[in-house]
Amino acid sequence: MTAGDSDSVGFEAVPFALEWLRPPAGWDADPSRLVASSPARTDWFVDPISARVVGTAPVLVGTPPAGDYTWEAHVVLDGDALFDAAGLFVYADDDHWAKLAIEVTVAGPTIVSVVTDTFSDDCNSSVLDKGSGRLRLARVGEAIAFHASGGGSRWELVRVFRLPKAAPRIGFICQAPTGAGCTGIFDKIAFAARSMNDIRDGS
């Protein structure tokens, strides 16, 4: 792990450095674990109805090597206000980005994904028994696939999409749009330069 200053973070299993695109309220890291706290009333979302733009939540991103890859972490959300969330982030620029998170919804902790192409969409997927699970993104050619696992060995496809930039930065997000702040705990962080033969087969 490297943390030479307040902006840069590195992990043993990750062959690139990450920097804070938006700073957290606080953070700590070791070779395979990140703990990041979100300030109150912070989010990343471009409302498709009102067109209101918010890009204030803590985001840590880095540039992966060229080619196909997978990026994953076990994510624990420590927060209980509506829309508190922690997860993975894909960033091309402020108008083109995506996130896959464990988020507090009215149904409980939920796998939620957002893809933004000028405006954001918003898709709620599986409701979880607890506020933790494994999240993964995979680059396949110029596409990005989001997967989630509630704890078993099977990965469920959440969605697949493209951003206009072929090689976006990737990393983590923690947000607290309505509450006083929350914390995301990311461990078992892993990057692998590999191609997936079938994004829908559960592997």
The rounded distance, in Å, linking the Cα atoms of 69 and 58 is 24
Q: What is the DSSP string of 122-171?
A: -EEEEEPSSSEEEEEEEEETTEEEEEEESSSSPPEEEEEEE-SSSS-EEE
Give the pLDDT band (50/70/90) at residue 4.
very low
Residue appearing with tokens 């994004």: 199
Amino acid in the structure at residue 145 = A
Among 20-29, 103-112, 122-131, 162-171, the range scoring the smallest mean pLDDT is 162-171
The rounded distance, in Å, linking the Cα atoms of 114 and 46 is 10
Q: Is 25 helix (H, G, I), strand (E, B) or coil?
A: coil
Phi/psi region, residue 52 (left: phi>0; alpha: psi -120 to 50; beta: rest), is beta
Residue appearing with tokens 């957002």: 114
- Could you count the other beta carbons within 10 Å of the beta carbon of residue 170? 24
Does residue 114 contact residue 105 with C-beta atoms inside 8 Å?
Answer: no
Give the pLDDT band (50/70/90) at residue 5.
very low
Phi then psi dihedrals of residue 77, to 5 deg: -100, 120
The rounded distance, in Å, linking the Cα atoms of 181 and 94 is 22
Tens of pLDDT along 32-49?
999 999 999 999 999 999
The rounded distance, in Å, linking the Cα atoms of 61 and 91 is 8
**Per-residue pLDDT at 1 exceeds 60:** no
Q: What is the pTM of this model?
A: 0.95
The rounded distance, in Å, linking the Cα atoms of 73 and 81 is 23
